Structure 1
Amino acid sequence: MTSPRPRPTWTQAVSALFVAAARVIVAWCVVFAIRAVLPTAPVQAFLTAYPGESALPAFTAPGIPAFVSWTHFLNAFFLVLIVRSGLRFRFEKRSGGLWTSRRVKRRRMSLALWGHLAVDVLWLANGVVFVVLLFVSGHWARIVPTSWDVIPNALSAALQYASLDWPTHNGWVHYNALQQLFYFAIVFLAAPLAALTGWRLSAFWPAAWRWLPERTAKALHWPTMLFFVGFTIVHVGLVLATGALRNLNHMYGGQDAVNWTGFAVFAGTLVLMAFGWYAMRRDDWIARVARLTGDVRLLGR
């Protein structure tokens, strides 16, 4: 049995409210400061020269290919399971079950960790398929910068977002420069870093490989997960706030139109994600799959 968390005192609660209020006030001050400088001549000249989007190569066709839609859903679905199982493994005090390898008897882990690693493998396989199809289709130029003007254009887009005068664009044709940089970072930087550090922290890392210290991997793995979560929150928020029906149709409806098709598919995916979140809590459900790869022993709580 784990001891219940102590309830915060009134002083702590009031202090937390004051800190939250102060952060909101500072954020609004930043917004108003940016809005004050946007109309000035130098800033307007900068925004005119760099409107927030870089030109795409001529071979980049408009539209969202079908493989982007279904790999996008699988990526989000597996990411939800990864976060849920990772949080469970990080904070659970007592495991509900153990998995033991049939080939390497000394290799054992909790069912929560086994579930985390199993979903990691599916997430990586989906990512490999996405990247291969990305380059085969020529769609890679949508998220890989091809010109250095992506930097000032990204700054321009950031200023527009920060002023709450959000840049208008057509995601069916192109992403703005800030989106492009973040999508590139997610696919080609954050995802490999999460995979590498997670592998280092698992029981499958070769003991002879000492070039990545475990302490370094721990220091990087958790912040990388927080980056994914933070990106997802902002990403979904902007999708819903900048023309939800059209944006959802781009990704889930396969069309550049304003109707409820994409929203309906999106709502269905949320149901699947909620089910997956619940499933990662059930050791008996995880055990059914884990027994395909090793011996499982459920433990009483």
Structure 2
Amino acid sequence: MAVLLVRWILSTSWGAEFLAAYPGEYHLPTGAPVGFPAWLGWQHFFNAFLIVLIIRSGLQVRRQTKPPAMWSPRWNRSRRISINLWFHQSLDILWLVNGAIFVVLLFITGQWMRIVPTSWEVFPNALSAALQYVSLDWPTENGWVNYNSLQQLAYFVTVFVAAPLAAATGVRMSGVWPRNARRLNDTYRVEWARALHFPVMIYFVSFIVFHVTLVFATGALRNLNHMYAGQGSEDPTAYADNWVGFWIFFVSVMIMIAAWVAARPLVLAPIARIFGSVSRG
């Protein structure tokens, strides 16, 4: 019914005029880069690898009743946390470092113009793109040159809103937060962080599901070549039959699956001992 309703709306004179005025994307600023450099492809893989393991370890921490093992830092043997929490927080640190490098490179290379809205036209164009998706007459796009406005808003929210929220709430619940800073703790209560942290994780899971689905549904080989092989063109049909990006993506997924399976106390304990001591739970 939603598809039929949107199709009817877009078939009216108002709908046709709206699509003509707002096709789903707007022109980027002069000098905006075209294509994806190699560092962006590597950053994309590292971020995906880390966020998948962060979600896994976070769910383990949330579900655990009795920790399988405990970890203590060398400088404070009295502080003991579960090995699952140690793994989760260690991944968080790597994810934050990777994210900081990513943001710095975004602004140094000008790639920020591709995911940060630079015109108020982003909102009506995002609505246009959303209507086109719902109508199943999906917007013609070429991510190598420009994202549609709905994509741009989604990437902007993920990088500059959801990621900082995940970091800020995670730090508040971690052991690095100063517990004796009464005024600071009263200003930023741990209950607020707990209330936000899990919904932010749900947002990331939802984003990943929709993102991967659309990557495959809107031209899988072309899209994978853009991000994983660094191959693209202003011609949206270029690299549509090239499998290089797919096989790089396939290897990256196998690495993620292997890491997911290996992330268990038997494997984690020897690594954790490098940074502290491990004891039975």
Fold shared by both chains (TM-score > 0.5):
yes
Say if 2:63 is the partner of 1:91. yes
Say if 2:57 is the partner of 1:58. no
Counterpart contact for 1:101–1:107, Cα < 8 Å: yes
Given candidates 39, 48, 52, the residue that maps to 2:20 is: 48
TM-score by length of 1: 0.88
Q: Residue 293 of structure 1: CA displacement?
A: 1.7
Given candidates 118, 131, 137, the residue that maps to 2:90 is: 118
Indicate the residue corresponding to 1:266 in structure 2: 249
Say if 2:64 is the partner of 1:81. no
Taking the aligned partners of 1:273 and 1:81, their CA distance within structure 2 comes to: 8
Say if 2:123 is the partner of 1:151. yes
Say if 2:275 is the partner of 1:275. no
Letter in 2 for 1:249: N
Taking the aligned partners of 2:4 and 2:76, their CA distance within structure 1 comes to: 61
Indicate the residue corresponding to 1:172 in structure 2: 144
Distance 1:107 1:57, change over 3 A: same
Counterpart contact for 1:38–1:44, Cα < 8 Å: yes
Q: Which secondary structure does the structure 2 equivalent of 1:145 belong to?
A: coil
Q: Residue 104 of structure 1: CA displacement?
A: 2.4
Indicate the residue corresponding to 2:204 in structure 1: 228
Q: Residue 289 of structure 1: CA displacement?
A: 1.6
Matches within 5 A, 1:95-244: 95-207=67-179, 208=181, 209-210=184-185, 211-244=187-220
Counterpart contact for 1:56–1:141, Cα < 8 Å: yes
- Aligned residue pairs: how many? 270
Taking the aligned partners of 1:231 and 1:115, their CA distance within structure 2 comes to: 23
Indicate the residue corresponding to 2:236 in structure 1: none
Taking the aligned partners of 1:106 and 1:45, their CA distance within structure 2 comes to: 68
Q: Which secondary structure does the structure 2 equivalent of 1:291 belong to?
A: helix
Matches within 5 A, 1:4-43: 29-43=1-15
Q: Which secondary structure does the structure 2 equivalent of 1:130 belong to?
A: helix
Give CA deviations for 1:1-57 in whole Å, capped at 9, x if unaligned.
xxxxxxxxxxxxxxxxxxxxxxxxxxxx22221112110011111111011102101
TM-score by length of 2: 0.94
Deviates more, 1:262-271 or 1:249-258: 249-258
Q: Which secondary structure does the structure 2 equivalent of 1:296 belong to?
A: strand
Taking the aligned partners of 1:170 and 1:69, their CA distance within structure 2 comes to: 17
Give CA deviations for 1:186-221 in whole Å, capped at 9, x if unaligned.
000000000110111111111113121111101100
Counterpart contact for 1:284–1:298, Cα < 8 Å: no
Q: Which secondary structure does the structure 2 equivalent of 1:251 belong to?
A: helix
Say if 2:279 is the partner of 1:297. yes
Indicate the residue corresponding to 1:8 in structure 2: none
Counterpart contact for 1:197–1:218, Cα < 8 Å: yes
Give CA deviations for 1:226-260 in whole Å, capped at 9, x if unaligned.
00000000000000000000000000011022200
Given candidates 275, 283, 288, the residue that maps to 2:270 is: 288
Q: Which secondary structure does the structure 2 equivalent of 1:218 belong to?
A: helix
Q: Residue 61 of structure 1: CA displacement?
A: 2.0
Counterpart contact for 1:100–1:108, Cα < 8 Å: yes
Letter in 2 for 1:41: S
Taking the aligned partners of 1:108 and 1:41, their CA distance within structure 2 comes to: 66
Q: Residue 143 of structure 1: CA displacement?
A: 0.3
Gaps of 5+ in 2: 233-238
Q: Residue 116 of structure 1: CA displacement?
A: 0.4
Indicate the residue corresponding to 2:235 in structure 1: none
Give CA deviations for 1:100-148 in whole Å, capped at 9, x if unaligned.
1221233221000000000111111111111001100011100011111
Counterpart contact for 1:283–1:298, Cα < 8 Å: no
Q: After TM superposition, where is structure 1 displaced by more than 4 Å over at least 4 residues in a row? A: none
